[in-house]
Structure 1
């Protein structure tokens, strides 16, 4: 009796979950579809849906010519890859130390790392700007990337993953003559691969789309990123051309969208294995 009584409730809950998932998908897809429609039609059709409207790629060409997108793409790619590489190295070493070594002040130091997770990055803008200015790095890629080289989030995730590594594997590697760094590279890092992939996705997405900090510390085309470069389209005195803005926005977000569509299964599996929600 209890089994039959619970079945309708389960079905109703499953149905509600499905509806909620579709609603969330529509909330994400509709703005993207609107941007695509606007980008591939002349500007006069931007505010209305006319199925007889002619298709055009002129908006993409005009957007590319209106700003040095090649330079922006290069700057953003160098920045994202550089930040991720430094974060991986520093976070791996820090997490390894917190997980497997006993040293004075370890718990206090890790508590400070956890506290950093609760601090909004925008609260540190003024102090970070003063530091970058004192170092003479204003208007450079170093200015954008330096405050993000150390990641408390990555340290926390990797520490949790490293603490779950069986000690038997570590002892076996030590008996074969492996030193601390060799054990880290051969035992800990391979077993934490899902965590590395999951954090890499978070880091790349965040820094590819980061706007406020790059806007504050850059002044020239040579060091601007894609998101900062987009503002040139919203400061045209004769009015805003939504068709060109949509085309520029799509070009900016295209690498992330294509990467997600191609590797969405690997993305989801990495987050599930890493325990990130």
Structure 2
């Protein structure tokens, strides 16, 4: 058990880090729901308003940006689940020559920053004729080494007896994967889904490079262009637009934070 002094230092440090994180969010909420005159001063009796949200929504095609982003993150997440699940199962439960070596190669991909591949990915999309499409944004991310690693760790924790029982009942390989492993990995899928959706919801550089029209821009690129226009000078409107784009992620994390923490704790056990 840690000494009392050390414990108090940890608590104070945690509170300080929490304040550093939450203060900008509180400022954004305050500015977004109050008139522009109150953006730089605090007044408990300041009137609340949705006018900033309305102005931000009407000043840029945020409906289209939301649609593009929703399609993008859904496409990537579904593809990652479909591709990572059998790969993780193979690395966790199947024996084949070079399994550990191939898995090490997969993990090496975690060391490669996506930004390093921008030029190569762009040239590939030009060759495929996919520039300025949602598919072009998603294609480099349809596979995930992190997703394979996380699911592999979870699948390794499934008791072998359950697998053997399913085999005796006549389940095929895919049947055991679908009926035994996938249901038990539900918290991991939720946690990884939050990570994937959060990353691609906020991804900026690659969508900025590969898109050049409203019909394909996601929220991050649309927000940056909106903030650089004449309408974006008003901080109340900028914070309102920012709050609209980040709000869904905050709500999702608050709803699934328990599964998020538990799955990563389990992933480090074996």
TM-score range relative to shorter protein: over 0.9
1:107 aligns with 2:104: no
Cα distance between partner residues in 2 of 1:242 and 1:257? 21
Per-residue deviation at 1:88? 0.7
**Aligned 8 A contact 2:28 2:239 in 1:** yes
Alignment equivalent of 1:233, drawn from 218, 226, 237? 226
The partner residue of 2:154 within 161, 174, 178 is 161
Q: Secondary structure of the residue that 1:250 maps to in structure 2?
A: helix
1:63 lines up with 2:56 in the alignment = yes
Q: TM-score, normalised by structure 2?
A: 0.92
Match of 2:137 among 121, 138, 144: 144
Alignment of 1:25-174 (within 5 A): 25-51=18-44, 53-174=46-167
Larger Rg: 1
Residues 63 and 245 of structure 1 are in contact (CA less than 8 Å); yes or no, is this contact kept in structure 2? yes
Match of 2:4 among 11, 14, 20: 11
**Residue 261 of structure 1: how far off its partner (Å):** 2.8
Instruction: State the 1:173 CA deviation.
Output: 1.2
Is 2:197 the partner of 1:204?
A: yes
Q: Does 1:186 align with 2:179?
A: yes
The Cα of 1:239 is off from its aligned counterpart by: 7.0
Distance 1:262 1:180, change over 3 A: closer
In the superposition, relative to structure 1, how do residues 47 and 109 fare at CA in structure 2: closer, same or farther (>3 Å)? same
The CA distance in 2 between the partners of 1:228 and 1:174, in whole Å, is 49
1:41–1:55 CA contact under 8 A, matched in 2: yes
Change (3 A) 1:229 1:178: same
Q: Tell me the residue number matched to 2:245.
A: 252
More displaced 10-residue stretch of structure 1: 136-145 or 190-199: 190-199
Shift of 1:35: 0.8
Answer whether contact 2:187 2:259 (CA < 8 A) is retained. no
The alpha-carbon deviation at position 60 of structure 1 amounts to 0.8
Structure 1: state its 5+ residue gaps.
Answer: 1-5
1:117 deviation in Å?
0.7
Kept in 2, the 8 Å contact 1:43–1:241? The answer is yes
Q: Provide the C-alpha distance between the structure 2 equivalents of 1:46 and 1:167, rounded to a whole number of angstroms.
A: 59
Aligned residue-pair number: 269
Question: Where does residue 3 of structure 1 map in the other structure?
Answer: none
For the structure 1 residues 59 and 18, does the alpha-carbon distance in structure 2 shift closer, same or farther, using more than 3 Å as the test?
same
Matching residue of 1:222: 215
Q: CA deviation at 1:146?
A: 0.7
Once residues 85 and 208 of structure 2 are traced to their aligned partners in structure 1, the CA distance between those partners, rounded to angstroms, is: 30
In the alignment, the residues of structure 2 paired with residue 160 and residue 238 of structure 1 have an alpha-carbon distance, to the nearest angstrom, of 49
